[in-house]
Amino acid sequence: MNRQQLAQEIIDAGRFLYGRGWSPATSSNYSTRLSANEALLTVSGKHKGQLGPDDVLATDMDGNSLEPGKKPSAETLLHTQLYRWKPEIGAVLHTHSVNATVLSRLTLADSLVFADYELQKAFSGITTHESQVLVPIFDNDQDIARLATKVQPWLDEHPDCVGYLIRGHGLYTWGLRMSDVLRQVEAFEFLFECELKTLSITRR
């Protein structure tokens, strides 16, 4: 795909995710791989339901803007980290849904485990409900470089990881294509809601 097509994928993703309530206002950030050494990301501070062609920019894999006058998201390093980790990753989505935010705050452990849900099969590499999907939860940190140093060891030790949560903040998930990542966001949101409803019943 060329840059225009990749930018349109980001724009379309923003409209969809905003419409579902998973990326309110200027929260969230999205990216696609532009080349082996470049990524295309949303510009900082833009409303995700109203993105246009000028609201994306190219960065290098160190998170530096390659387009003068355009400021990348503060969390760019968490995107480029994933592209460096696995060359096959083609898109990354970071969302701020209510369910992800609340569940990550209620979960005192450092991870969530999804088990025996049929919809787990929506995640890349999962072929049966008879499996477990481990989702790490990292404490929120305004120092993104420091946060990235906490994420990397987990990724290295869990090469099949399909996403992670930042506590009180949101979800990161990734895949080969934007369509794969959007599918995974939907699956995560379904499972987050199931877990929250289960907690509301069992804690009564």
Q: Which residues contact 191 (CB under 8 A, 6 or more apart)?
A: 114, 117, 119, 120
Tell me if 96 is assigned to a ligand binding site.
yes
Instruction: Yes or no: say if 91 and 165 are a contact pair by the CB < 8 Å rule.
Output: no
CB neighbours (10 Å) of residue 32? 26
Sign of the dihedral defined by the CA atoms of residues 41, 173, 119, 178, in that order: positive
Instruction: Yes or no: say if 77 and 145 are a contact pair by the CB < 8 Å rule.
Output: yes
Short-list 72, 62, 69, 88, CA closest to 10:
72
Tell me if 94 is assigned to a ligand binding site.
yes
Residues 30 and 42: their CA atoms lie apart, in Å, by 6
CB neighbours (10 Å) of residue 53? 11
Known binding site: residues? 94, 96
Binding site per annotation, positions for Zn(2+): 94, 96
